[in-house]
Amino acid sequence: MKLRASLATANADVRSNLYNGVDYGIRYGNYVNAMMALDRIAADPGLNEQQKKIVSDVMNLLKQKVQGQGAPAPARQ
């Protein structure tokens, strides 16, 4: 995962949010919790521009995933 690699050298709080929030949330389909953890990561002042962009990209992917879950399944004929 590109996000994990880019945040490998980040501070302990960022890594904790990544492993315990983002990774865990994605693994178990809890995308809202993963997005909340990403918000906490994005707010960290120690991130560089590349890290911020990757966090933003992952956030956008999760938003699409959450919006896709809300759509009803198509009817089968």
pTM equals 0.83
- Span 19-42, pLDDT tens digits: 999 999 999 999 999 999 999 999
**CA 50 to chain CA mean position, Å:** 15
Instruction: Compute the distance between CA of residue 64 and CA of residue 60 in angstroms, rounded to an integer.
Output: 6
Phi, psi of 70, rounded to the nearest 5 degrees: -75, -15
Whether pLDDT at 75 is above 70: no
Domain ranges of the chain: 2-67
